[in-house]
Structure 1
């Protein structure tokens, strides 16, 4: 497998320490006793885990209220939300919501029995087909509801009045948060506006991957050639995005669909009878290119392709097998909705997902949304779609050098020199938000 872009370990350890120290505040009896809010229904945004916490809370509250208003998806009812200054003891921005009674969640229902909690889960290979189709069918129903909603721009939602919602703020994604938190990306490099076209947004995401490689201080590359390989992958991906070749989208100017970065089995709560009780964690949800929603969900196997124990090709083979079950469940769900008059034949999501998988658009979307997995995905799944088959995936980057101009070659070699110099020392370099800076100061003061 091609090397991944590993997270900066220094940033990771520092972020974990900050969030751990912040969380200890809740173990102090005087804090719990002084707060009049129930901690069982209050979500706090931990510093160094979530950057842009105020923006994230505003976005999450807006999308949850939209879903309650516009869909039948069961999401927690929001009692109150507020800024850091409005929170108990001014600890963080917050959301107070009703607790959803449940017995388990979809992750536990799908996971391999006996899998230790600390290990990464994998879809139970021996799961009963009827059970799997039943569980997949409920997940398909949620995705189908989301896919029916359209917006004219890419970005986060705002409630204008009691009856009107619009996309007026930048799309804030989980990947963007992680790039700042663990990838050394300056906050100023993130998009700061909405987008009107799919190609513009894809180019912006391609630019983020380039900036990620430039700015991550530690653990970014393993050698000079690894740096060149990663540089080549990112430049070629952006070239394809600029030329509007990546997706050749029929939805270039919309309509755009609701996309939740964190929608996954672990956030789907179940009753004892395995019926869905509710769906939680709608942070990082925004109107996105339709192709994001039209790609089959990677979480059908629970585990991501880049972490699959037997390699990415085996993941693809197992996924292809399970996708048939998922799409059958979705078609059954669509049939019911069409019979009820709630869905048009042209709104079937299953056909879009099948085309996305068959055309490998799935991998293009996945690479755009997962910066730390980008390199493995690009060289194994994307590069062969657009360029002649390389003699070896390991040396494909050398065969692509002719696609770069002289200036780009110079930039590549300058970056190689920079990264080799950086490898001589390990220095923490990141761009924490004001909220995290304050938490660091408090922790230092306590010591």
Structure 2
């Protein structure tokens, strides 16, 4: 079996550069004076200024404004060039989600003070003004250094967030908006555009989207041997999902809301390690319950590393500690252990990693190679023979890999020309006025992949009717 190259996902570097150039030009139009004018218009008569430098993440610029009376705001501006569906659509979903959760649960999150939703070319045509929350982002590395009591308290607060999402915000069917990867080609297979009625349909859609991404990539397949390997392991992953992982008993629900990116850096904590706020709800969506996952970062390892097996066993030790605390909290508050039992059942055979790979395609190859080969075939010793047989069974598979190899050669030449160009309009980017902040010092997550192009899936987000929220005077 060919040794796999370092995962590149389905990111087209040429497209990425173009998007980043557009993003940097977009940022050039955002000035301090314009941002402060927005703040002043919401509180006339009060002077204001930045109390810390703006911070840019992958999809938003956050400007931190303080008024003379001490009130502090975060003015969050979506980076429209980095969003396949535009700034307005993104903000509609995010604001609706935050308002919905504020009404239904007690999860700590910033207050929404005001917002503007526009479709204009002005970068400040869409923004949201949020409460500034004191504290700092949690670091996954520091969780290991906490005392037993400190970690137990953190786990209790974290468990409460998950329990509320599971219990207080149930749904009876899926409403999904898709981004990227020619979604209409996939959605055409379903009866009503954007509406999926079962967990099987949801899962099949994700599998089809990953197949579509692979069949249209220019940067992923480097040569025939590697292409055969990747194609086989995607096929193997599809089989494993359908035959071993997907629970047909849960086909009609329940469906639950997920945060979408509940990483440590989206949990603000105080000096006592109390969670003061959960940030960045922009990727929140409704999913079948099998996709409702516990934190996968308890040991600080990547999901690709967890797929090796023994790291997953170590992760399960931490998860068991978390589930004990969650179970006690559930029984105390609700008289049963609904979520802890669900996760106890799902944790076997790398179940959480399957759901993660379905929604993070860069993990499919590694999970399939490291986990499925181990549990189905006791390793990779016979993998070359299996791959050869798989490719030989269907001539169109060989044709697909050959086409992707040719596409990669063309892509490489285009990339070389771009790297060697003397025209700064082609390759150079406009100087970024808001350089990205250190990873754990931002309000912004670093979602893997380039969600901004037709080569990546941004998220599957619930389409909550927004008209109700627009009538509110925030």
Q: TM-score range by the shorter chain?
A: 0.7 to 0.9
User: Following the alignment from structure 1 to structure 2, what is the Cα–Cα distance between the partners of residues 147 and 210?
Assistant: 30
> In the alignment, which residue of structure 2 is the partner of 1:225?
225
* TM-score (structure 1 length as normaliser): 0.75
Match of 1:93 among 109, 126, 129: 126
Q: Within 5 Å, which residues of 2 pair with 1:218-297?
A: 218=219, 220-239=220-239, 245-293=244-292, 295-297=293-295
User: Following the alignment from structure 1 to structure 2, what is the Cα–Cα distance between the partners of residues 58 and 397?
Assistant: 48
Task: Tell me if the contact between 1:15 and 1:49 (Cα under 8 Å) persists in the aligned partners.
Answer: yes
**Match status 1:332 vs 2:328:** yes
SS of the residue 1:300 aligns to: coil
**Match status 1:19 vs 2:23:** yes
Call closer, same or farther: CA 1:81–1:240 in 2, change over 3 Å.
Answer: same
> In the alignment, which residue of structure 1 is the partner of 2:297?
299
Task: Tell me if the contact between 1:5 and 1:372 (Cα under 8 Å) persists in the aligned partners.
Answer: yes
> In the alignment, which residue of structure 2 is the partner of 1:75?
109
Q: Within 5 Å, which residues of 2 pair with 1:18-167?
A: 18-26=22-30, 28-32=31-35, 34-35=37-38, 36=41, 39-40=63-64, 41-52=74-85, 53-85=87-119, 89=122, 91-100=124-133, 102-105=134-137, 107-108=138-139, 110-112=140-142, 123-124=143-144, 126-148=145-167, 149-155=169-175
Residue 11 of structure 1, CA deviation: 3.2
Call closer, same or farther: CA 1:224–1:81 in 2, change over 3 Å.
Answer: same
Which 5+ residue runs of structure 2 have no aligned equivalent?
A: 43-47, 49-62, 65-73, 188-192, 419-451, 457-474
- What whole-Å deviation, never above 9, does each CA across 1:290-332 have from its counterpart, x for those lacking one? 0111x33212234422268xx8445324312221221122122
Call closer, same or farther: CA 1:393–1:29 in 2, change over 3 Å.
Answer: farther
User: Following the alignment from structure 2 to structure 1, what is the Cα–Cα distance between the partners of residues 23 and 321?
Assistant: 40
Task: Tell me if the contact between 1:79 and 1:97 (Cα under 8 Å) persists in the aligned partners.
Answer: yes
Residue 22 of structure 1, CA deviation: 2.3
Call closer, same or farther: CA 1:5–1:190 in 2, change over 3 Å.
Answer: farther
RMSD: 3.2
Task: Tell me if the contact between 2:353 and 2:367 (Cα under 8 Å) persists in the aligned partners.
Answer: yes
Call closer, same or farther: CA 1:324–1:390 in 2, change over 3 Å.
Answer: closer
* TM-score (structure 2 length as normaliser): 0.71
**Match status 1:209 vs 2:210:** yes
Call closer, same or farther: CA 1:79–1:430 in 2, change over 3 Å.
Answer: closer
Q: Within 5 Å, which residues of 2 pair with 1:363-374?
A: 363-374=353-364
Residue 207 of structure 1, CA deviation: 1.0
- What whole-Å deviation, never above 9, does each CA across 1:183-239 have from its counterpart, x for those lacking one? xx4465575512111111111111111111122222x12321111111122233335
Call closer, same or farther: CA 1:369–1:90 in 2, change over 3 Å.
Answer: closer
Residue 382 of structure 1, CA deviation: 3.1
Residue 407 of structure 1, CA deviation: 5.0
Residue 46 of structure 1, CA deviation: 0.5
Residue 416 of structure 1, CA deviation: 4.6
Larger displacement relative to structure 2 (9-18 or 194-203): 9-18
Q: Within 5 Å, which residues of 2 pair with 1:313-352?
A: 313=309, 315-337=311-333, 343-345=334-336, 347-352=337-342
